[in-house]
Structure 1
């Protein structure tokens, strides 16, 4: 039986979460403060910790940072998921929390309770990350990009169209990224390493509520050489930009006035995850030849993106799956690999280098790293 340590200063919330998880078959222990949680961790040795962000005394972020250093465990942050708390929640995810979920309110819990249970269950099989400082992470990743040893001989070959014509990075093309649980910190392993001259725009479908994607885009914009924007409205795709799909909706590619755009569209009720990666890739395949697309499937529970990226691969496009070595939750990339849809499998800190080598001719890469 899996054990969960529930940390919240509210006795009512501790009881509500404990009841939800207990009914789902978990063994539940509780702590009322961050200090109590740290003292109980080595005794309880839980499989997962749920942690409130806002607590008196030691707050959730301080407690999380100490957990990840002293006794790393999968941690699910439980918060109000409001715009006001977006910065704190994203900082928690950057510090190594697996996911953030909404606090179950009084009365009918419904889908919020189901999401909490599903997330805790997925977190139990996740890989907690001992997070170094971001500057050190970027330094080490850049050092790896400077080397060629991790690139397979197949990967170094240029893509070839159905007509037998080699395809490089020049001209219209898009990199499509699907990511879920563990995504914010994983995106920080990849996107800041793309150089300023990167020739294709990047569109990211990160499963996330609407309150958080604008903050995520702003944070990444501060870290990246490329311009990072949230897709609030129809956004013309240009080289040197990264588009983060608006949370709580889906994103599709469209052509308007002859120009390729990323467009935020209402979330499809037929798909369980949003912004939806399969919907993004499928829309791109309607507009561009497969050889002008690169699909990247990263950490996350479930299988979103696996079907469409397998089709992209079968039709001659290039795809990357994150390896189990770095994935917080291996579900999504594992499904792409299982279906035979991945050209190459790499840890997150080597993906930017692979994309750069695929899309930028050697002379333009000179000095990168």
Structure 2
């Protein structure tokens, strides 16, 4: 078995050792070398051509973001950012996701930290996904640069006749738009939300799987570049039209009586916030006047929510396999049999606007 070759980059010798030990403990991956700064990382990435680089965000000389941009020029090496929970670190991490990073994890806080095992599991899972998504990542990039290509053949072709009929006759008024995503989601959500007009006429509620402390930077970057107002949701605030609410990391986001409720109940599918929690609670409030969309991501979060919204007469869109960096959540949604349309990510904003205004 060919092992996944990983380059570990961190300015801390202790952290390089910790991350290396996590990776080398897995039978299907190995650390081929380590680097102590961004400049060293760029040179070793060029010479070793690893499958995956784990890259510290904050380093002297050449920082993680600068190193990422250079490494992504080499070839389709996938990069997972390792970020400490600081204000500048979270902002830089979000910027890295838009600059080509596959994903990120929050760095463990120390050798006796209770989150070490959780970080290890998350890191190794994302290394595997990063390695296996290399070809898909290249394909997605190529699709988005082929401006002459108007349509792509995707697994939408296997939609049932019943679903196609639903799609063609949908006339129910839409009162809310719900979006759910995980790995690969920030760039997709950015592209979609920044295309929405300032007078969309409905609220947009978003769950993007992210740790606590990073969703604020995510919301701020979206708000800066969007026509709609984008905020990290707060407990108890009244939901307003033409506003995008980002579920804060560490909390489930629910809808009750037209207000945001932040919930600390246990994680589901290993995540909090969870897409299912939002979709089900929003469906209970908005009933059949709900439009939801599931995007790229690991796991099956959102599938139960999709079934619930469809049972109420709502409308469901999922991202197609070809443009999903990780075809996990959209696949789980599709397999419920409750998806009305499967679209490439670059067509979903237009479809949502059309349905809302129909």
The equivalent position to 2:18 in structure 1, one of 16, 19, 22, is 16
The equivalent position to 1:157 in structure 2, one of 158, 168, 182, is 168
The equivalent position to 2:272 in structure 1, one of 263, 274, 282, is 274
Report the alpha carbon displacement of residue 311 of structure 1 after superposing the two structures with TM. Answer: 3.2
- Pairing 1:28–2:31 present: yes
Report the alpha carbon displacement of residue 235 of structure 1 after superposing the two structures with TM. Answer: 2.2
Answer yes or no: is the 8 Å Cα contact 1:125–1:329 preserved in 2. Answer: no
Answer yes or no: is the 8 Å Cα contact 2:206–2:245 preserved in 1. Answer: yes
The equivalent position to 1:248 in structure 2, one of 247, 250, 255, is 250
- Pairing 1:167–2:172 present: yes
Answer yes or no: is the 8 Å Cα contact 1:313–1:341 preserved in 2. Answer: yes
The equivalent position to 1:57 in structure 2, one of 57, 61, 76, is 61
Answer yes or no: is the 8 Å Cα contact 1:49–1:76 preserved in 2. Answer: yes
The equivalent position to 1:178 in structure 2, one of 177, 180, 193, is 180
Deviations along 1:52-89, one digit per CA (max 9) or x if unpaired, are: 11222221101111222332222110121333411111
Take 2:204 and 2:169, find their aligned partners in 1: how far apart are those partners? Answer: 19
> Corresponding residue for 2:202?
200
- Pairing 1:99–2:103 present: yes
Take 1:313 and 1:8, find their aligned partners in 2: how far apart are those partners? Answer: 46
Structure 1 stretches of 4+ with a deviation exceeding 4 A read 129-132, 147-156
Deviations along 1:217-270, one digit per CA (max 9) or x if unpaired, are: 111111111111111222222221111111111000100xxxx12221114245
Take 1:221 and 1:131, find their aligned partners in 2: how far apart are those partners? Answer: 26
Q: TM-score, normalised by structure 2?
A: 0.86
Closer, same or farther in 2 for the Cα pair 1:84/1:38, shift >3 Å?
Answer: closer
> Corresponding residue for 1:299?
296
The equivalent position to 2:83 in structure 1, one of 58, 79, 84, is 79
SS at match of 2:261: strand
> Corresponding residue for 1:163?
none
Answer yes or no: is the 8 Å Cα contact 1:96–1:129 preserved in 2. Answer: no
After the TM superposition, which of the residue ranges 304-313 and 105-114 deviates more from structure 2?
Answer: 105-114
> Corresponding residue for 1:348?
345
> Corresponding residue for 1:366?
none
Q: Superposition RMSD on alpha carbons, in Å?
A: 2.7
Report the alpha carbon displacement of residue 353 of structure 1 after superposing the two structures with TM. Answer: 0.2
Answer yes or no: is the 8 Å Cα contact 2:140–2:323 preserved in 1. Answer: no
After the TM superposition, which of the residue ranges 348-357 and 270-279 deviates more from structure 2?
Answer: 270-279
> Corresponding residue for 1:211?
213
Take 1:148 and 1:78, find their aligned partners in 2: how far apart are those partners? Answer: 37
The equivalent position to 2:357 in structure 1, one of 345, 357, 360, is 360
Report the alpha carbon displacement of residue 96 of structure 1 after superposing the two structures with TM. Answer: 1.6
Deviations along 1:312-367, one digit per CA (max 9) or x if unpaired, are: 23442211111222222221112112232321111222111000111113xxxxxx
Take 2:77 and 2:90, find their aligned partners in 1: how far apart are those partners? Answer: 23
Deviations along 1:181-221, one digit per CA (max 9) or x if unpaired, are: 12221111100101122122110011112211122111111
Take 1:98 and 1:148, find their aligned partners in 2: how far apart are those partners? Answer: 26
Report the alpha carbon displacement of residue 130 of structure 1 after superposing the two structures with TM. Answer: 9.9
Answer yes or no: is the 8 Å Cα contact 1:68–1:130 preserved in 2. Answer: no
Report the alpha carbon displacement of residue 283 of structure 1 after superposing the two structures with TM. Answer: 0.9
Deviations along 1:115-143, one digit per CA (max 9) or x if unpaired, are: 222222222223447999xxxx9xx99x9
- Pairing 1:332–2:325 present: no
Answer yes or no: is the 8 Å Cα contact 1:322–1:346 preserved in 2. Answer: yes
SS at match of 1:124: helix
Take 1:131 and 1:61, find their aligned partners in 2: how far apart are those partners? Answer: 22
Query: What are the ranges of 5 or more consecutive residues in structure 1 without an aligned counterpart?
Result: 160-165, 362-369
Take 1:189 and 1:269, find their aligned partners in 2: how far apart are those partners? Answer: 28
Take 2:307 and 2:297, find their aligned partners in 1: how far apart are those partners? Answer: 17
Report the alpha carbon displacement of residue 148 of structure 1 after superposing the two structures with TM. Answer: 10
After the TM superposition, which of the residue ranges 275-284 and 42-51 deviates more from structure 2?
Answer: 42-51
Deviations along 1:131-171, one digit per CA (max 9) or x if unpaired, are: 99xxxx9xx99x99xx9999997586342xxxxxx4134xx
